Every structure is written in structure tokens, then in C-alpha cells.
Chain A
Amino acid sequence: MEAIIGTILIVAYFIIWLRFFPLGRRTFDVFKLNPFLLPFWWKFVGMGWLLFVIVYSIIQGNFNPSTNNFLLAGFYFGLLNISFSKEKNEDEFAQQTRMKAMYISIISLFFLIGIFSSFEITNPGSFSKSAFVWMMMLFNATLIVYLAYFYLTKYGFKK
């Protein structure tokens, strides 16, 4: 089962990745890159996928992210699809908020890497022995920061 899901994910990543390239036309305006986002309804594909990953992990009887690679990789795919789908009305406010969220999440990623690398100094081997788990946790955390900033700003919970 995992082999089939893994293969589907590899193919899906390549297809989705290609969509983000502005083929045939060049633009230097970052806000004009937004039309290359995934369609609005794709967000629900991501949500459905997250639900599947959670239910499948519960059926497997392993909901521990440090030992369940499927849970980590599956969560990442779901969050990625939600993050890069358009809003119902992808206007200039949504576009600018998206760019700010991207900026904040990238800064968070650098600081999280700094924190994790410090653990490697205090406790050698803690990071490098389980690099996949830590890497997926880092990127999942980055996407969660991105989504949290984007939606909190969009719906006015943040000044």
C-alpha cells in the first residue's frame, strides 16, 4: 500500500511543480506570479488528503511522527496543497498577504534550523541520526507558520 501511495505522490509532485513555472512569459512582478497557483478547489484535495493521512495512521496504530514516516510525508503533501491553492477571490490583499506569509515562514525556517543545529552541539547525533524526521518536521512547521500567518492576517485577527 505504502509503495503505491509513494509512487502516486512522486508523480503528483512533478505535475504540481510544473504548474508553478511561468512558462512562455517572463514577469519580474512577484504579485503577477500568483496566477500560477493551484486552483481554489485544490485546497479541498489537500484537506481530504490530510484527513486520509490521519485516518490511515490511526488504522496503522502509529500516530507518532518520530516513527511514522508516512504521517510526516503525508502531512507535508497535504499542507503544501492547501498553502499554494488560490483563495476564492485572489485579490491584491490576498497576494500581498501571501508574500508576507512566505517571508515570515522562510525567516522562521532559518531560525528553526538554527535551534535544531544547536541541539546537535548539546546532544551530538540527536539531529543527524534521524535527519528525515527532523527535516520533515522543519518543513511542516514552516508551512504551518505560513498558513497561520496568512489566514490570521486575512481574517483580521492580526494587526
Chain B
Amino acid sequence: MKNSLKIERAIKNLTQDDLAKLIGVSRQTINSIEKGRYVPSTVLALKISAVFEKQVNEIFELDDSD
């Protein structure tokens, strides 16, 4: 699964730590999502989309391998 979390974060001028605090996870979790090592649950994806005020599928999209 691909995601534009890093870009969205840059637009909002948020660090990984800021975003982690906003949605109540660790900084390592944000880092793992950005690098594609971890696919978040629906709940976490919805929390992320709420922070960036976008739809979930605008931030996360399916990859060819999915």
C-alpha cells in the first residue's frame, strides 16, 4: 500500500513526533507507516485522515502488489 503521509505532513508543517502525539501513537509507528513497513488499521487511518482533513483514500492507495 502506498501513502502520501510524508507529503501531507510537509504541507501541514508537522514533524513525525507532532503527528504521533496528535493521533496517540509512537513516532516509530509514523515512521514505519511512511516507509511502507506497516499498514495501519482502519481506525488509525481514519485518525490520520481527520488530522489532514482529507479522505482516507486520498492519503492511502492500493499498490499493484496488493
* Stretch from B4-12, B24-32, B55-63 contacting the other chain: B24-32
Which of under 10, 10 to 19, 20 to 34, or 35 or more describes the interface residues of B? 10 to 19
- Chain B contacts of A156 at CB under 8 A? 28, 31-32, 35, 37
Verify B25–A92 contact, CB threshold 8 A.
yes
Most buried by A among B25, B28, B40, B44: B28
A-B contact pairs, 19 of them (CB 8 A): A88-B26, A89-B26, A91-B25, A91-B26, A91-B29, A92-B25, A92-B40, A92-B44, A93-B25, A93-B26, A93-B28, A93-B29, A93-B38, A93-B40, A155-B28, A156-B28, A156-B31, A156-B32, A159-B37
A-B complex: 9 closest residue pairs judged by Cβ atoms? A93-B29, A91-B25, A89-B26, A154-B28, A91-B29, A93-B38, A92-B41, A91-B26, A156-B31
Which B residues have a C-beta under 8 Å from some C-beta of A? 20, 24-26, 28-29, 31-32, 35, 37-38, 40-41, 43-44
